[in-house]
Chains A and B, each alone.
Chain A
Protein backbone atom coordinates (compact mmCIF):
# COMPACT_ATOMS: atom_id res chain seq x y z
CA UNK A 1 0.00 0.00 0.00
CA UNK A 2 1.41 3.39 -0.94
CA UNK A 3 0.88 6.47 1.12
CA UNK A 4 -1.37 8.01 -1.50
CA UNK A 5 -3.80 5.08 -1.30
CA UNK A 6 -4.10 5.27 2.44
CA UNK A 7 -7.47 6.28 3.75
CA UNK A 8 -8.01 6.27 7.48
CA UNK A 9 -10.95 4.12 8.53
CA UNK A 10 -11.41 6.13 11.70
CA UNK A 11 -12.61 9.73 11.37
CA UNK A 12 -11.44 11.47 14.50
CA UNK A 13 -13.73 14.47 14.31
CA UNK A 14 -16.09 16.16 11.93
CA UNK A 15 -16.40 19.19 14.16
CA UNK A 16 -16.03 22.64 12.64
CA UNK A 17 -13.62 24.69 14.72
CA UNK A 18 -13.68 28.43 15.27
CA UNK A 19 -10.00 28.96 16.06
CA UNK A 20 -8.09 25.95 14.71
CA UNK A 21 -7.37 26.56 11.05
CA UNK A 22 -8.12 30.26 11.22
CA UNK A 23 -5.49 32.93 10.66
CA UNK A 24 -6.15 35.69 13.19
CA UNK A 25 -4.14 38.91 13.30
CA UNK A 26 -2.21 39.01 16.54
CA UNK A 27 -3.69 41.45 19.06
CA UNK A 28 -0.32 43.07 19.75
CA UNK A 29 0.59 43.15 16.06
CA UNK A 30 -0.28 46.75 15.24
CA UNK A 31 1.79 48.05 18.17
CA UNK A 32 4.72 45.92 17.06
CA UNK A 33 4.70 46.89 13.36
CA UNK A 34 4.45 50.59 14.20
CA UNK A 35 7.21 50.61 16.85
CA UNK A 36 4.77 51.69 19.56
CA UNK A 37 5.08 48.48 21.58
CA UNK A 38 7.01 49.14 24.79
CA UNK A 39 9.54 46.50 25.83
CA UNK A 40 11.48 46.50 29.09
CA UNK A 41 14.43 48.33 27.58
CA UNK A 42 12.11 51.01 26.14
CA UNK A 43 10.78 52.00 29.51
CA UNK A 44 12.58 54.53 31.67
CA UNK A 45 11.27 54.90 35.19
CA UNK A 46 11.82 58.19 37.00
CA UNK A 47 14.88 58.02 39.25
CA UNK A 48 16.04 54.74 37.73
CA UNK A 49 19.32 53.53 39.23
CA UNK A 50 21.98 51.80 37.19
CA UNK A 51 24.11 49.07 38.73
CA UNK A 52 27.64 48.12 37.86
CA UNK A 53 29.53 45.02 38.82
CA UNK A 54 33.19 45.29 39.73
CA UNK A 55 35.16 42.14 39.06
CA UNK A 56 38.65 41.19 40.09
CA UNK A 57 41.26 42.06 37.50
CA UNK A 58 43.14 38.82 38.42
CA UNK A 59 41.94 35.25 38.13
CA UNK A 60 42.16 33.09 41.29
CA UNK A 61 43.37 35.98 43.41
CA UNK A 62 42.51 35.90 47.10
CA UNK A 63 40.38 38.92 47.97
CA UNK A 64 41.66 40.41 51.21
CA UNK A 65 39.54 43.52 51.24
CA UNK A 66 37.45 45.68 48.97
CA UNK A 67 37.53 49.42 49.21
CA UNK A 68 33.91 50.43 48.72
CA UNK A 69 34.26 54.02 49.90
CA UNK A 70 34.06 55.44 46.38
CA UNK A 71 30.99 53.41 45.55
CA UNK A 72 29.38 54.28 48.85
CA UNK A 73 29.99 57.96 48.29
CA UNK A 74 28.18 57.81 44.96
CA UNK A 75 25.51 55.54 46.44
CA UNK A 76 24.89 57.94 49.30
CA UNK A 77 23.41 60.51 46.98
CA UNK A 78 21.08 57.83 45.60
CA UNK A 79 20.10 56.73 49.10
CA UNK A 80 21.11 53.12 48.55
CA UNK A 81 23.58 50.75 50.07
CA UNK A 82 26.69 49.01 48.86
CA UNK A 83 27.26 45.32 49.37
CA UNK A 84 30.33 43.34 48.54
CA UNK A 85 30.52 39.59 48.32
CA UNK A 86 33.75 37.70 48.24
Chain B
Protein backbone atom coordinates (compact mmCIF):
# COMPACT_ATOMS: atom_id res chain seq x y z
CA UNK B 1 0.00 0.00 0.00
CA UNK B 2 1.57 3.29 -1.01
CA UNK B 3 1.92 5.97 1.63
CA UNK B 4 -1.06 8.23 1.88
CA UNK B 5 -0.93 11.98 1.80
CA UNK B 6 -2.77 14.21 4.22
CA UNK B 7 -4.80 16.80 2.33
CA UNK B 8 -6.70 19.76 3.77
CA UNK B 9 -9.30 21.47 1.64
CA UNK B 10 -12.59 23.30 1.76
CA UNK B 11 -15.48 21.37 0.25
CA UNK B 12 -18.90 22.98 -0.06
CA UNK B 13 -17.91 25.61 2.49
CA UNK B 14 -16.71 23.16 5.10
CA UNK B 15 -13.15 22.36 6.07
CA UNK B 16 -12.48 18.77 5.03
CA UNK B 17 -9.24 16.88 5.52
CA UNK B 18 -8.68 13.45 4.13
CA UNK B 19 -5.99 10.87 3.37
CA UNK B 20 -5.41 9.89 -0.21
CA UNK B 21 -2.95 7.91 -2.26
CA UNK B 22 -0.85 10.04 -4.59
CA UNK B 23 -2.38 8.26 -7.61
CA UNK B 24 -6.00 8.87 -6.63
CA UNK B 25 -8.04 11.36 -8.62
CA UNK B 26 -10.05 14.06 -6.91
CA UNK B 27 -13.16 12.21 -8.12
CA UNK B 28 -12.07 9.01 -6.35
CA UNK B 29 -11.33 11.02 -3.21
CA UNK B 30 -14.73 12.71 -3.28
CA UNK B 31 -16.65 9.50 -3.93
CA UNK B 32 -14.70 6.75 -2.18
CA UNK B 33 -12.81 8.55 0.59
CA UNK B 34 -15.09 11.43 1.57
CA UNK B 35 -18.36 9.76 0.54
CA UNK B 36 -19.72 12.53 -1.67
CA UNK B 37 -21.13 10.31 -4.42
CA UNK B 38 -23.09 13.05 -6.20
CA UNK B 39 -20.25 13.59 -8.67
CA UNK B 40 -20.43 10.72 -11.14
CA UNK B 41 -17.80 8.70 -12.94
CA UNK B 42 -18.78 8.39 -16.58
CA UNK B 43 -15.67 7.98 -18.69
CA UNK B 44 -12.88 8.70 -16.18
CA UNK B 45 -10.89 10.44 -18.93
CA UNK B 46 -12.31 13.96 -19.08
CA UNK B 47 -14.72 13.53 -21.98
CA UNK B 48 -18.15 13.23 -20.42
CA UNK B 49 -18.16 15.93 -17.74
CA UNK B 50 -20.25 13.90 -15.28
CA UNK B 51 -17.62 14.51 -12.58
CA UNK B 52 -17.49 18.30 -13.06
CA UNK B 53 -16.80 20.27 -9.87
CA UNK B 54 -15.77 23.83 -9.17
CA UNK B 55 -12.16 24.24 -8.04
CA UNK B 56 -11.39 27.76 -6.81
CA UNK B 57 -14.23 29.07 -8.98
CA UNK B 58 -13.17 27.25 -12.16
CA UNK B 59 -14.95 24.19 -13.43
CA UNK B 60 -12.78 21.11 -13.80
CA UNK B 61 -13.40 17.45 -14.54
CA UNK B 62 -12.47 16.00 -11.17
CA UNK B 63 -11.33 12.72 -12.75
CA UNK B 64 -8.40 14.65 -14.27
CA UNK B 65 -7.37 16.37 -11.03
CA UNK B 66 -5.32 14.52 -8.47
CA UNK B 67 -6.65 14.36 -4.94
CA UNK B 68 -3.38 15.79 -3.60
CA UNK B 69 -3.93 18.87 -5.79
CA UNK B 70 -6.94 19.74 -3.63
CA UNK B 71 -4.56 20.88 -0.87
CA UNK B 72 -5.64 24.34 0.24
CA UNK B 73 -8.23 24.63 -2.51
CA UNK B 74 -11.91 25.48 -2.41
CA UNK B 75 -14.15 22.86 -4.02
CA UNK B 76 -17.87 22.99 -4.78
CA UNK B 77 -19.62 19.78 -5.75
CA UNK B 78 -23.25 19.12 -6.68
CA UNK B 79 -24.00 18.57 -2.98
CA UNK B 80 -23.06 22.20 -2.31
CA UNK B 81 -25.27 23.83 -4.95
CA UNK B 82 -28.57 23.88 -3.08
CA UNK B 83 -28.86 26.62 -0.46
CA UNK B 84 -29.82 24.66 2.64
CA UNK B 85 -33.04 22.84 1.80
CA UNK B 86 -33.86 25.32 -0.97
CA UNK B 87 -32.94 24.30 -4.49
CA UNK B 88 -30.71 26.63 -6.49
CA UNK B 89 -32.65 28.29 -9.37
CA UNK B 90 -30.60 26.17 -11.81
CA UNK B 91 -31.71 22.96 -10.09
CA UNK B 92 -35.31 24.14 -10.05
CA UNK B 93 -35.14 25.02 -13.76
CA UNK B 94 -33.75 21.58 -14.64
CA UNK B 95 -36.71 20.00 -12.84
CA UNK B 96 -39.34 22.26 -14.38
CA UNK B 97 -37.95 21.99 -17.89
CA UNK B 98 -37.66 18.18 -17.69
CA UNK B 99 -33.95 18.54 -18.42
CA UNK B 100 -32.98 15.22 -16.87
CA UNK B 101 -33.89 11.58 -17.16
CA UNK B 102 -31.46 9.01 -15.79
CA UNK B 103 -29.62 11.75 -13.92
CA UNK B 104 -26.03 10.55 -14.31
CA UNK B 105 -24.92 13.60 -16.31
CA UNK B 106 -27.09 15.99 -14.30
CA UNK B 107 -24.68 16.81 -11.42
CA UNK B 108 -21.96 17.80 -13.89
CA UNK B 109 -24.37 19.81 -16.01
CA UNK B 110 -25.75 21.67 -13.01
CA UNK B 111 -22.32 22.51 -11.58
CA UNK B 112 -21.22 23.78 -15.02
CA UNK B 113 -24.47 25.71 -15.59
CA UNK B 114 -24.26 27.41 -12.23
CA UNK B 115 -20.65 28.40 -12.87
CA UNK B 116 -21.69 29.90 -16.20
CA UNK B 117 -24.46 31.98 -14.66
CA UNK B 118 -22.14 33.11 -11.86
CA UNK B 119 -19.84 34.76 -14.37
CA UNK B 120 -22.32 35.54 -17.15
CA UNK B 121 -25.83 36.12 -15.79
CA UNK B 122 -27.35 36.64 -19.23
CA UNK B 123 -25.79 34.19 -21.68
CA UNK B 124 -26.99 33.67 -25.22
CA UNK B 125 -28.08 30.22 -26.35
CA UNK B 126 -24.82 29.98 -28.29
CA UNK B 127 -22.79 30.80 -25.18
CA UNK B 128 -24.67 28.19 -23.15
CA UNK B 129 -24.11 25.49 -25.77
CA UNK B 130 -20.44 26.41 -26.00
CA UNK B 131 -20.00 26.42 -22.22
CA UNK B 132 -21.71 23.04 -21.82
CA UNK B 133 -19.77 21.47 -24.69
CA UNK B 134 -17.73 19.36 -22.26
CA UNK B 135 -20.81 17.74 -20.75
CA UNK B 136 -22.38 14.77 -22.51
CA UNK B 137 -25.99 13.68 -22.08
CA UNK B 138 -27.15 10.42 -23.64
CA UNK B 139 -30.84 10.39 -22.81
CA UNK B 140 -32.45 13.82 -22.61
CA UNK B 141 -30.54 15.59 -25.37
CA UNK B 142 -29.35 19.14 -25.12
CA UNK B 143 -32.33 21.32 -26.09
CA UNK B 144 -34.15 20.91 -22.80
CA UNK B 145 -30.95 21.44 -20.86
CA UNK B 146 -30.17 24.65 -22.75
CA UNK B 147 -33.75 25.84 -22.23
CA UNK B 148 -33.44 25.10 -18.51
CA UNK B 149 -30.28 27.23 -18.25
CA UNK B 150 -31.96 30.10 -20.14
CA UNK B 151 -34.98 29.78 -17.85
CA UNK B 152 -32.75 29.85 -14.76
CA UNK B 153 -30.92 32.92 -16.09
CA UNK B 154 -34.23 34.76 -16.60
CA UNK B 155 -35.54 33.80 -13.15
CA UNK B 156 -32.31 34.79 -11.42
CA UNK B 157 -32.31 38.16 -13.16
CA UNK B 158 -35.94 38.77 -12.23
CA UNK B 159 -35.15 37.88 -8.63
CA UNK B 160 -32.17 40.23 -8.63
CA UNK B 161 -34.21 43.24 -9.80
Is B62's beta carbon under 8 Å from chain A?
A: no
B91, A33: Cβ atoms under 8 Å?
Answer: yes
Measured CA separation A21–B91 after assembly (Å): 23
Q: How far is the CB of A46 from chain B (nearest CB, A)?
A: 14
- Count A interface residues, CB 8 Å: 17
**CB-nearest residue of chain A to B77:** A35
Measured CA separation A41–B84 after assembly (Å): 26
Is A80's beta carbon under 8 Å from chain B?
A: no
Q: Given contacts A25-B95, A26-B98, A28-B103, is CB(A35)–CB(B78) below 8 Å?
A: yes
- Count B interface residues, CB 8 Å: 25
Measured CA separation A29–B103 after assembly (Å): 8
Measured CA separation A73–B32 after assembly (Å): 27
Measured CA separation A29–B41 after assembly (Å): 19
Residues of B within 8 A of A25 (CB): 95-96
**CB-nearest residue of chain B to A29:** B95
Q: List 17 A-B contacts (CB under 8 A).
A: A26-B95, A26-B100, A28-B103, A29-B100, A32-B103, A33-B94, A33-B106, A34-B91, A35-B36, A35-B77, A35-B78, A36-B38, A36-B79, A37-B103, A39-B104, A41-B37, A42-B31
Q: Which residues in chain B, 75-89, are within 8 Å of chain A measured between CB atoms?
A: 77-79, 81-82, 87
Measured CA separation A37–B39 after assembly (Å): 11
Measured CA separation A21–B104 after assembly (Å): 26
Spell out B's residues near A (CB within 8 Å).
Answer: 31-32, 36-41, 77-79, 81-82, 87, 91, 94-96, 98, 100, 103-104, 106-107, 110
Q: Given contacts A30-B87, A42-B31, is CB(A35)–CB(B94) below 8 Å?
A: no
Is A23's beta carbon under 8 Å from chain B?
A: yes
Measured CA separation A59–B25 after assembly (Å): 33
Q: A23-B96, A35-B38 are in contact. List 9 more A-B contacts (CB 8 A).
A: A25-B96, A26-B95, A29-B100, A33-B87, A33-B94, A33-B100, A34-B91, A39-B37, A39-B40
Q: Which residues in chain A, 23-67, are within 8 Å of chain B measured between CB atoms?
A: 23, 25-26, 28-30, 32-39, 41-42, 44
**Cross-chain contact of A41 among B41, B106, B107, B110 (Cβ < 8 A):** B41
B87, A35: Cβ atoms under 8 Å?
Answer: no
Q: How far is the CB of A49 from chain B (nearest CB, A)?
A: 16
